[in-house]
Structure 1
Amino acid sequence: MGNAIIGNRCPYDIWIWSVDQTGSSEAIKVPSRTKYSEPFRSPCDGCGVSFKVSTTDQLQGGKQTQFEYAIAGGQVWYDISFVDCAQGEGAESCPGHEKGLAMDSPEGACGRINCGGGSYCPTQAYYVDTPLQKLGIPEPVFGCGTAGTGMDLFMKVCSDETPLKRSIAGRVVVDDEI
């Protein structure tokens, strides 16, 4: 199985909660310019996992962005949701939105989500719970086709900022994929 990796490119700390049908983690602090990783999990076929992102160590109604994924039939599906924080076409209350949010994978079969900083991107993220009915557009769900579940899925907060750095052999510093 692959991993769900959240990269915090923001100049501020974020907190995440990893939530599925069986419960929620405690608040997990992801300091500025670092990342958090956990293995994919699927409590049941098609059941989802949501990473709720906040700028405080408390979940506050109307102020959380969600990165979501599910594994169904051996395939990975994922999306970004502003449903809990967007108001109309504005997502100013959604953590990271001011500097962009993205989801992608090094696996070429996977789709790429990119919602640039401060932009209205209803084909890239959920602003309402049922976009086909309420906005007349398809649901913004992306997947990896039949590539399986062995890849990593990157969730980037403040994605318009420079990628995180990592060292190779303790000497060379290069941009990370996240």
Structure 2
Amino acid sequence: MPTMVQVLEDENRLVVIRSHLNAPDGRLMRSLLDARGIHAFLSGENVAGMNEGMFANLMVRAGDREEAENILSNVTALPASAFPVRQDPDGEELACHRCGSSRVHPYAGRLPSLMPFLRQTARPEDAFYHCLECGNYYTEKRPRFTSLSIAVMWGGTLAIATLLIIWVINWLQWS
């Protein structure tokens, strides 16, 4: 017959209730359980968040397993295969240049810009993409305007403005 200590040890040991979760899905399920008063642990959370191919396991105490299964019975994680895989002409999977996510979709329309009066419009033949993870807009093709021409234009504009300001200051000193 098991002793009271053995029973408590068995109920407090961690058991896996969901495995092979990516980090966001695991955090979602853990927060659902925590909201209902069940303490959950996500093993491998940090590794799964850093590496796309790594997964995490959701664990609870053995005594809370049945209640946790009831709570999570209506929750399903969307498998990565449900997202469309976009490939370039060479057959390589497209990925965001900023965050590396493969959750990108083609984009046509006005592109956001930090420089006023230089808003570019993306046409379908320009092959612009929008990342659903970080919101980045990028293209796999070389843009119509290279950054050198824009830099020269802005450099010239700022140089003329600086010379004009110096001329006005000198004119005010001698007037």
> Shorter-chain-normalised TM-score: which range?
under 0.3
Higher helix share: 2
TM-score by length of 2: 0.24
Higher strand share: 1
Instruction: Find the structure with the greater CA-based Rg.
Output: 2
Higher relative CO (Cα under 8 Å, sequence separation at least 6) belongs to: 1
TM-score by length of 1: 0.24
